[in-house]
């Protein structure tokens, strides 16, 4: 039995940023996960779509008017491509099948299980939440390119304040209650509603900072926001 089981929602901005697939980040991330696997830990990794999804959406939008459903499907298939990339770099440690539906329970002995987007209307944040429910895991680690949740958009407001801890009720006041394809939020509104009902803890961190992530796994002081 695994020592500890973690769910990591790996933002597409980390896997496939604007400049292309970030193999250097993936190499460092892989090394950390392999170290933790040696300790007996197990991981569910959910891949986001990142720039890959946005590039396909942008290209299609220049040709035709895209429906919201097709926007979602382009994003979903981008997450599946990124998920296969993750499964490839963890080939020896990962379950051979990528989870496309979080409601389908996989009984896996492998140390890594990779998941992708599910269906229109649901983000990979929501997939992570359903996986937490399905496998009875109480914490989701959400890695993206932001260090903290802020009380307002720090790109627009110079006086935005970082929040190290926040309740679901207060967090949902910030992100609202509606999902929209391409929404840029620390954790999406629908997943937030579900997480609150399940009593989950979500930790928002900048995945680029591998040393900070190590601190979290070592139960040391870390930079990030805890939503509970």
pLDDT tens per residue, range 86-110: 999 999 999 999 999 988 888 889 9
- pTM, full prediction: 0.92
pLDDT of residue 184: 64
pLDDT of residue 182: 54
User: What would be the CATH architecture of the domain defined by 5-227?
Assistant: 3-Layer(aba) Sandwich (3.40)
**What is the average per-residue pLDDT within 176-190?**
73
pLDDT of residue 199: 96
Question: Are the beta carbons of 109 and 96 closer than 8 angstroms?
Answer: no
In 3D space, the residue among 105, 79, 84, 80 whose CA is nearest the CA of residue 94 turns out to be: 84
pLDDT of residue 180: 64
Question: Are the beta carbons of 105 and 134 closer than 8 angstroms?
Answer: yes
Between these two residues, 151 and 208, which has the higher pLDDT value?
A: 208
Q: 212-221 long-range CB contacts below 8 Å, 24 or more apart?
A: 213/32, 213/143, 214/32, 216/141, 217/32, 217/36
The predicted-structure confidence for 205-227, as pLDDT tens digits, reads as follows 999 999 999 999 999 999 999 99
CA distances (Å), origin 208, targets 34, 36, 88, 140, 150: 17, 18, 20, 17, 18
**What is the average per-residue pLDDT within 46-70?**
93
**What is the average per-residue pLDDT within 3-15?**
94
């Amino acid at each position: 039995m695994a020592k500890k089981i973690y769910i990591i929602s790996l933002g597409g901005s980390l896997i496939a940023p604007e400049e292309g697939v970030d193999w250097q980040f993936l190499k460092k991330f892989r090394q950390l996960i392999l170290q933790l696997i040696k300790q007996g830990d197990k991981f569910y990794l959910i891949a986001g779509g990142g720039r890959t999804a946005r590039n396909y959406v942008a290209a299609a939008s220049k040709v035709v008017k895209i429906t919201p459903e097709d926007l979602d499907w382009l994003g979903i298939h981008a997450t599946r491509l990124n998920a296969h990339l993750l499964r490839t770099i963890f080939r020896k440690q990962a379950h051979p099948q990528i989870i496309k539906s979080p409601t389908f329970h996989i009984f896996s002995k492998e140390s890594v299980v990779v998941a992708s987007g599910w269906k229109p209307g649901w983000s990979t944040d929501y997939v992570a939440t359903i996986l937490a429910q399905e496998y009875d895991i109480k914490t989701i680690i959400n890695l993206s390119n932001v260090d903290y949740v802020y009380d307002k958009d720090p790109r627009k407001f110079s006086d935005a304040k970082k929040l190290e801890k926040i309740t679901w009720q207060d967090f949902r006041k910030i992100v609202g209650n509606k999902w929209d394809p391409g929404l840029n939020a620390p954790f999406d509104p629908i997943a937030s509603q579900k997480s609150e009902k399940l009593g989950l803890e979500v930790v928002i961190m900048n995945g680029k900072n591998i040393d900070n992530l190590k601190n979290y796994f070592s139960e040391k002081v870390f930079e990030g926001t805890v939503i509970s």
